[in-house]
Structure 1
Amino acid sequence: MAKTIIVSNRLPVSLRHKNGKFEFKPSAGGLATGLGSIYKEGENIWIGWPGNDVEDPEQRAEIIIELHELKMAPVFLTKEDIEQFYEGFSNETLWPAFHYFTQNINYDENHWEAYVRVNQKFCDAIIKKASPEDTIWVHDYQLLLLPQMLRERLPGATIAFFQHIPFPSYEVVRMLPWRQEILSGMCGADLIGFHTYDDMRHFLSAVGRIMGLSNESGYIQAENRLINVDSFPMGIDYDKFANSAKSKNTQRIAKKFLGQLDDQKLLLSIDRLDYSKGIPQRIKAFDRFLEENPEYHEKVSMIMIVVPSRAKVKSYMELKEEIDTLVGRINSDYSTLNWLPIHYFYRSFPFEELSAFYAMSDIALVTPLRDGMNLVCKEFVASKVDMKGTLILSEMAGASKELQDAILVNPNDNKGVAEAIKYAITMDEKEQKLRITSMQETIQRYDIFQWVKVFMDRLDHVKQKQLDLQSKEVDADVIRDLGGHFDKAKKPILFLDYDGTLVGFKSKPEDAFPDEELKTLITKLSKKSQVVIISGRDKETLGSWFQGQNVDLIAEHGVWLKMNGNEDWDAYAEVDDHWKPDIKSVMAYYVQRTPGAFIEEKHHSLVWHYRKVESGLGDLRMRELFSHLKYMARGHNLQVLEGNMVLEIKRPDINKGRAATSFMKGNTYDFILAIGDDWTDEDTFQAMPEGAFSIRVGYSYTKATYNIKNSKEVRYLLNKFT
């Protein structure tokens, strides 16, 4: 029976060494809460590192048994693994790169090798538990290589990946020497999820520029698979925080805390110690607020909780020292016998005490310099059951895309954050209620359980789309079937597109001439079948390339026909070219603005090429030109066609389908096969009579009977006919 395997760097429990024994402590994190509904069902399981190094084989055996009872399986890491893979590559290379702290990136080759090694350890551990029909959901930046490793071992498995931290722009990704391997690793998944659309956009851009994989509407075409990339903003367990805020125990704790603070407005700051959280900048903004607003002295206090993290790492020690110094100076400058501006706690708190802090605080100051999502702000809003309270939120946090009713600030704008604090303090209760109510509705609707459901539903949808395409894939059975029909036929005909079908694409169109292998193949095919090369190429090029070959040629999408044995070309259609000068001048304008673009003029069409243009810029200019030409085309009765890195404009009544139909008129063929690779070939497929076969090169949706991987596979298929 198929099962779901959750995989993350850490298990939802921590392994603690106490009094010579190991014990497990459950994690209270949001991910553990949300995925609890999955991994605790049926035969499902969670695989990850238990959080401590265990060298003794007997202790490992005991831990495996205990975790099995909890529906978990451990991946044991050595001290060296932890140091080089986790603390090294994950947190000294990927973490700063993905949070845009490029000055902190450590380019250590040994750390990279450890990262590969540990990802392989995870893969081996999963393979021991997984079956080909299972669903495997991999989480976060520590395991970016894992999806592809699993794909190689379990080609048919359903594999998903979710990134919980930001994904940076292409300009940052390209700095990493291992960028290709990282992106390839992620592309082993069927569904790749991010918190925000921006992260998704950055990933698609990097994949396009570095790997050369195109995408359309969030779908990457890779090899013989469609990969979906989408955004799924993660939520919290809303009811858990709302109910806790109402509980008598939380209210008792809050009352006790408030009793020590007198009647003050309370700002709350909760973070793990990390440079991405912007803690020093936040303290400086509060300092500025106090300096510019002396009337609020003894009326406003900040509760600042910093949860210890990586305490032995030098840069984190320096960050802690900076925070300590800033807090000490502000408290020294402003505090009185009855008032301390900042109540600073460098430790973690149990859930109920955190809940009390959320409930009793008037303002939450959540201003990370960069954050994938940030759940603290959502937890604060969910805890405001009295509908009073204000959220100041960084624009750089993923949550800002959802919580538009927060006071949004740039965390680098010292003055702006200080002004936001004053605005929050003076906000009337009516406005507070309106903002909190709106944000609570959003958080309640898109909670952690909805996040899991939407993600898993999307994964099912992607797999169904893949199956739809897979059912049309040219495999060994299809090749055998087509070969059988071809061999029995007395009068077969083949309609073959040229670029992208018989040959791969080249930077310069003139370089895509037929090689000796192709010439030999066409010669063999033409002895057993009527072969028609039907292309968008101009007649001069096509005629010279296939001179002496026993083939029929249809050029410029059906404008010209040259029958085998004829010296001259016949025009299928009379075309008025008076529109060309106007259109060409517009195309030339876009060539001037787009280095690498050029115009190809055919007898009855114009083509704008952008294969040699910088990735991204070419797509942008093509979209601009497409809109411009669409507008102009209406007045001239023209059609604008988007091809593979080309934009072509011509008359709509001239197309390959019409040409193919005219060609077959008056003839009876007992085997018809059409092969092409882009939208211009869809007209051919649609025009094919009942019983004909058609094949689209690539894995786009198509009217063709089948899909095939690439031009090499096309040649392999056609060679089977000879």
Structure 2
Amino acid sequence: MGRLVVVSNRVADPRKSASGGLAVALGQALESTGGLWFGWSGRVAAPGEAEAGRLHTQMAGRVQLVTMDLSPTDHDSYYLGYSNGVLWPVFHYRLDLANFDGGHIGGYQRVNRRFAHQLAALLRPDDVVWVHDYHLIPLAAELRAMGCRQRMGFFLHIPLPPPLILAAIPEHDWLMRSLFAYDLVGFQSEVDLAHFSRYVRTEADAQVQGPNAFRAFGKTVHAASFPIGIDVDEFQALGRAADAQDLYHQMREEYSRRRLLLGVERMDYSKGLPQRLKAFRQLLQSYPENRGSATLIQIAAPSRESVDAYASLRQELESLSGQINSNFGELDWMPVRYIHRNVARKRLPGLYRAASVALVTPLRDGMNLVAKEYVAAQDPDDPGVLVLSRFAGAAEQMTEALLVNPYDATRTAEAMQSALRMPLEERRRRHAALLEGIRTQDVHWWRQQFLDTLASIQTH
């Protein structure tokens, strides 16, 4: 394989553990090939500032990190307007929250074209280009239009909805046609792959050419599912470090008379947070023996605070948690601890390990790595129980979890009760199977599977 070139909306230094497992996994492949990581710097230039569009370059070992600033106009249209105002809600099945009237598609196209223009000048003929996520769907089409013939792959980290939902996006045909500029398109789950297959066959009249190969618009694209994982050893090592251990012992001491249920995610309408609180309320109503003994800790890290839908969600969560605490709380016990702050990644394993039950119940999620991190953090001799939404991509792999429909508060409460009462031997059995699965299909397996498949494809 030639040099690996990774392109994503944001760039992270792969040497820093705070960057997360994805950066570490990509960093290993980039390091081995003396690779390049290209993307937005995260900086918005001041109005009229000449810096917008200028490249910034730094070295992280053998990896070259190249980033570009955005102008305020481009940031508002490409990032806020189209990527997160149209694609994010639609791909998470929330047509009601999509802003189709903003006219932001022009900014989305313009920034992708600018990324392509800047990147093309840095590419070598034998480079392998791996583009990530919904912000950059048309990037390969822009590069191809400029004459770039390198091997190119794309991975979608979020769900892909069914064809009828996709078809609600104005110019959806242009967007999906852009994917045919790639040699390989990867999805998180078999469900996402099935949605892609059905869309290109019904909307683009694509011809199926062998297993997961589709021909339309005079081009052939291969597609497959590659469920992303975590670096289990790295995360478990993080759990043995002082920060995680200190938090674990602190939580065990503070909640020595309680059973902890835990939710950890960004504040986002796709995560099913109101539904989770309502299910916990149902648990306390239907199974009163949990009153005074079960505590839900819900971490909802700030996210896109300026967007109306997120402000409304925050208000709803604060209201629900207040109502539950008011109706069920006692002088020495508050049933819900709702925390609207980030928890440092180095402390998370300690929090996971202290929890008897993890509630990972999104309404829709591409994968959800919290589920896998929770399993990795557990004590195998006395593990906690994972309650997992059937609508998370992780549910395809993690069948030993207690799978729930997050829209059904009664059944989700029943699953919480089963988790709290589950015998030790069953907990051990389920955890051992889950741990084996996330070790086998970890983030390094994911990276290698995608790159090996891309390398095996006969290109344009």
Could you say which TM-score interval applies, normalised by the shorter chain?
Answer: over 0.9
Matches within 5 A, 1:173-572: 173-216=166-209, 217-222=211-216, 225-247=219-241, 249-387=243-381, 388-463=383-458, 466=459
What is the Cα deviation at residue 176 of structure 1? 1.4
What is the Cα deviation at residue 122 of structure 1? 1.2
Structure-2 separation of matches of 1:425 and 1:431: 12
Secondary structure at 1:343's aligned position in 2? strand
| Residues 13, 60 of structure 2: 8 Å contact kept | no
Which of the numbers 120, 126, 133 marks the counterpart of 1:127? 120
Unpaired segments ≥5 residues, structure 2: none
Aligned to 1:630: none
Aligned to 1:75: 68
Structure 2: which amino acid aligns with 1:327? S
Going from structure 1 to structure 2, the CA distance change for 1:180 and 1:225 (only over 3 Å counts) comes to closer
Secondary structure at 2:305's aligned position in 1? coil
Going from structure 1 to structure 2, the CA distance change for 1:26 and 1:440 (only over 3 Å counts) comes to closer
Structure-2 separation of matches of 1:161 and 1:329: 45
Structure-2 separation of matches of 1:183 and 1:58: 32
| Residues 31, 61 of structure 2: 8 Å contact kept | no
Structure 2: which amino acid aligns with 1:345? I
Secondary structure at 1:168's aligned position in 2? coil
Aligned to 2:6: 6
Say whether residues 1:85 and 2:78 are aligned partners.
Answer: yes
Structure-1 separation of matches of 2:439 and 2:304: 33
Structure-2 separation of matches of 1:129 and 1:108: 36
What is the Cα deviation at residue 26 of structure 1? 7.3
CA displacement, residues 181-205 of structure 1 (integer Å, 9 cap, x when unaligned): 1111111100000011110111121
Structure showing greater radius of gyration is 1
Matched residues, number: 456
Aligned to 1:53: 44
Structure-2 separation of matches of 1:159 and 1:44: 15
Aligned to 1:551: none
Structure-1 separation of matches of 2:309 and 2:51: 38
Structure 1: which amino acid aligns with 2:452? D
What is the Cα deviation at residue 110 of structure 1? 2.4
Secondary structure at 1:302's aligned position in 2? strand
Secondary structure at 1:187's aligned position in 2? helix
| Residues 86, 100 of structure 2: 8 Å contact kept | yes
CA displacement, residues 87-145 of structure 1 (integer Å, 9 cap, x when unaligned): 11111111111111111121135211111011111111210111232111000001111
Structure-2 separation of matches of 1:33 and 1:183: 30
Structure 1: which amino acid aligns with 2:336? I
What is the Cα deviation at residue 156 of structure 1? 2.4
What is the Cα deviation at residue 440 of structure 1? 0.2
| Residues 267, 303 of structure 1: 8 Å contact kept | yes
What is the Cα deviation at residue 85 of structure 1? 1.1
Structure-2 separation of matches of 1:247 and 1:58: 41
What is the Cα deviation at residue 68 of structure 1? 9.8
| Residues 40, 71 of structure 1: 8 Å contact kept | no
Structure-1 separation of matches of 2:371 and 2:401: 9
Mean Cα deviation higher: 75-84 or 272-281: 75-84
What is the Cα deviation at residue 392 of structure 1? 0.2
What is the Cα deviation at residue 257 of structure 1? 2.1
What is the Cα deviation at residue 232 of structure 1? 0.3
CA displacement, residues 472-510 of structure 1 (integer Å, 9 cap, x when unaligned): xxxxxxxxxxxxxxxxxxxxxxxxxxxxxxxxxxxxxxx
Structure-2 separation of matches of 1:50 and 1:276: 26
CA displacement, residues 157-192 of structure 1 (integer Å, 9 cap, x when unaligned): 101000000001111111112111111111110000
Structure-1 separation of matches of 2:160 and 2:51: 41
What is the Cα deviation at residue 258 of structure 1? 2.2
Going from structure 1 to structure 2, the CA distance change for 1:9 and 1:249 (only over 3 Å counts) comes to closer
What is the Cα deviation at residue 361 of structure 1? 0.6
Aligned to 1:33: 24
Structure-2 separation of matches of 1:202 and 1:194: 10
Structure 2: which amino acid aligns with 1:442? G
Percent identity for Structure 1 against Structure 2: 34
Going from structure 1 to structure 2, the CA distance change for 1:188 and 1:214 (only over 3 Å counts) comes to same
What is the Cα deviation at residue 69 of structure 1? 8.0
Q: Which runs of 4+ in 1 moved over 6 A?
A: 58-62, 66-69
| Residues 368, 411 of structure 1: 8 Å contact kept | yes
Unpaired segments ≥5 residues, structure 1: 15-23, 471-722
What is the Cα deviation at residue 289 of structure 1? 0.5
Mean Cα deviation higher: 163-172 or 214-223: 214-223
Structure 1: which amino acid aligns with 2:19? A
Structure 2: which amino acid aligns with 1:7? V
Structure-2 separation of matches of 1:398 and 1:69: 34
Under a length normalisation based on structure 1, what TM-score does the superposition of the two structures give? 0.61
CA displacement, residues 392-451 of structure 1 (integer Å, 9 cap, x when unaligned): 000000000000000000010110101001000000010000000000000001110110
Say whether residues 1:112 and 2:105 are aligned partners.
Answer: yes
Secondary structure at 1:184's aligned position in 2? helix
Secondary structure at 1:71's aligned position in 2? strand
| Residues 2, 33 of structure 2: 8 Å contact kept | no
What is the Cα deviation at residue 210 of structure 1? 1.9
Structure-1 separation of matches of 2:281 and 2:129: 48
Structure-2 separation of matches of 1:386 and 1:27: 26
Structure-1 separation of matches of 2:292 and 2:359: 19
Secondary structure at 2:387's aligned position in 1? strand
Secondary structure at 2:196's aligned position in 1? helix
Structure-1 separation of matches of 2:55 and 2:144: 31
Under a length normalisation based on structure 2, what TM-score does the superposition of the two structures give? 0.94
What is the Cα deviation at residue 208 of structure 1? 1.6
| Residues 85, 112 of structure 1: 8 Å contact kept | yes
Matches within 5 A, 1:132-147: 132-147=125-140
Structure-1 separation of matches of 2:259 and 2:158: 32
What is the Cα deviation at residue 244 of structure 1? 2.6
What is the Cα deviation at residue 28 of structure 1? 2.2
CA displacement, residues 606-650 of structure 1 (integer Å, 9 cap, x when unaligned): xxxxxxxxxxxxxxxxxxxxxxxxxxxxxxxxxxxxxxxxxxxxx
Secondary structure at 1:81's aligned position in 2? helix
Secondary structure at 1:165's aligned position in 2? coil
What is the Cα deviation at residue 224 of structure 1? 5.7
